[in-house]
Amino acid sequence: MPEKNAVAFSLPKTRRFIEPISFKKIFFLLIVFLPDFLVAQPQIALSKAYWHTGKVKEGALLKEKLVISNIGNEVLEIKIRQSCECISLSFTKRILKPKSKSELIITYDTTGFSGQKNEYLFIDTNDPKNPYITWLIEADIVSVKKSTQDEKSSQSKNEEVLSQGQPKLSIEIYTTPNCSYCIKLKEKIIPEIGRKHKIIFEIKEYDLSIPKNYERFVLLEEKYQDKNNKLPAVFIGGKIFGGKKEINDKLEKEISSILNMSHVQEMISVENEIRKRLSSLKVLPIIFAGLIDGLNPCAFAAIVFLIAYLGMIHKKRTVEIFWTGIMFILGVFMIYILIGLGLSRFFLSIYGLKNISRVVYIIAGVI
């Protein structure tokens, strides 16, 4: 009997000892692993922070491998664009499953460049922590030929002396540092278009190596539903032109179209302003103004003189004088109506109107 009691007494103690330990373990595991289940998201990781090529000769074709990993627990989507057409990219995968990798082969053609050059890769992802990544490519390019003097930018920069009366047009340029085409675009191509079309450009330049400027450019693409443009890019008239070829082919045509549309819009705005003013006029003020304008002292003097002449000189009867006055009033009224409607020019242009008017004068005189 004592043995049974001892066993019965020890079981609750063991039970009470096991339960608290199990609960703590479960609680700890929930704290550690629950966020992963609740918040599933991709996370990008790069094998290198940047690429420094070192000193290279002009014309060298450089290659580099960048490994992109998805260390998150959701699918990672990648879009990459380069700051210069001298850089070409080759992807193995643009969509990465969780815990997978992709190799990006970067080819950099240094032909035509010299000195310190910085180029960039702009990586867009669906990683909420790193939606936009700017990846730097540094190069020290040694020219193999004697450098010639560049065109003086000051000559093309403000060579034109533009009058204040010329129209202004806003244009945005999205550039990268040390971009030779960007400099040419800003200091030569756009000013030449301005001189040709007699227009002043208000140039706003945004350096895409600054994160907030790149984010602005991405939002601009989303707003106008024109994504994945090449760089550098130009924004004008609600359109984005990306890359050297598209800018050279389409920019001037778009500017011509905007200028033509601006003249049409100017005419439409004038017409709308006229309609707005006419629609704001009320009937009673118009009638009142017409009555005031109708009080013509010359017309009064003319009819008084006519009645006095007919009554005293020609001894006309009262009825004849009355109808003569009525005809005079109607004649003046019709002339004012025709002038107001703009029909007087039409009647004056009729061939032989002078002869017709003489006949009318004779008939009126006889009457």
**Number of other residues whose CB lies within 10 A of the CB of residue 185:** 23
CA 151, CA 187: separation in Å to the nearest integer? 10
Tokens matching residue 40: 């599933």
CA 173, CA 234: separation in Å to the nearest integer? 5
In CATH, 44-142 is 3.40.50.10490? no
**273 DSSP 8-state letter:** H
Q: Which has the closest alpha carbon to 67: 53, 82, 88, 51? A: 51
Domain ranges within the chain, ordered by starting residue? 1-39, 44-142, 168-275, 283-366
Tokens matching residue 299: 């017309």
Let me know: does 100 contact 45? Beta carbons within 8 Å: no
- The three-state secondary structure class of 334 is helix
Q: Which has the closest alpha carbon to 123: 40, 205, 44? A: 44
Residue type, position 255, single letter: I
Chain position carrying tokens 């990219």: 89
Burial of 176 (0-12, 13-18, 19+ CB in 10 A): buried
Burial of 147 (0-12, 13-18, 19+ CB in 10 A): exposed
Tokens matching residue 110: 């240094």
CA 362, CA 364: separation in Å to the nearest integer? 5
- What ranges make up the beta strands (E) of 83-223? 87-91, 95-96, 101-109, 115-125, 132-142, 168-175, 200-207
**58 DSSP 8-state letter:** T
Residue by residue, pLDDT tens for the chain (367 residues) are 444 444 444 445 444 444 455 666 665 555 555 555 556 789 999 999 999 999 999 989 999 999 999 999 999 999 999 888 889 898 888 899 999 999 999 999 988 888 888 899 999 999 999 999 999 999 999 987 654 444 343 334 444 444 445 667 889 999 988 788 898 999 899 999 988 888 888 889 999 988 889 999 999 999 999 988 999 999 998 899 999 999 999 999 988 888 887 655 555 565 666 667 767 777 777 777 777 766 667 777 777 777 777 777 666 677 777 887 788 788 777 777 766 666 555 655 665 556 666 776 676 566 5
CA 53, CA 97: separation in Å to the nearest integer? 31
The CATH number, out of the four listed (3.40.50.2020, 3.10.129.10, 3.40.30.10, 3.40.50.20), of the domain defined by the range 168-275: 3.40.30.10
**146 DSSP 8-state letter:** P
Query: What integer pLDDT is reported at residue 152 of this predicted model?
Result: 41
- Please report which helix (H) or strand (E) contains residue 284, including its range: helix 283-294
Tokens matching residue 98: 């969780």
Query: Beta partners for 118?
Result: 138
**Number of other residues whose CB lies within 10 A of the CB of residue 118:** 16
Tokens matching residue 121: 């890769």
Cα 269 versus chain centre, distance: 20
Let me know: does 101 contact 67? Beta carbons within 8 Å: yes
CA 150, CA 237: separation in Å to the nearest integer? 31
Q: Which has the closest alpha carbon to 173: 165, 157, 184? A: 184
Helix, strand, coil percentages for the chain (3-state, nearest 5): 50, 25, 25
Q: Which has the closest alpha carbon to 68: 92, 86, 36, 89? A: 92
CA 350, CA 153: separation in Å to the nearest integer? 64
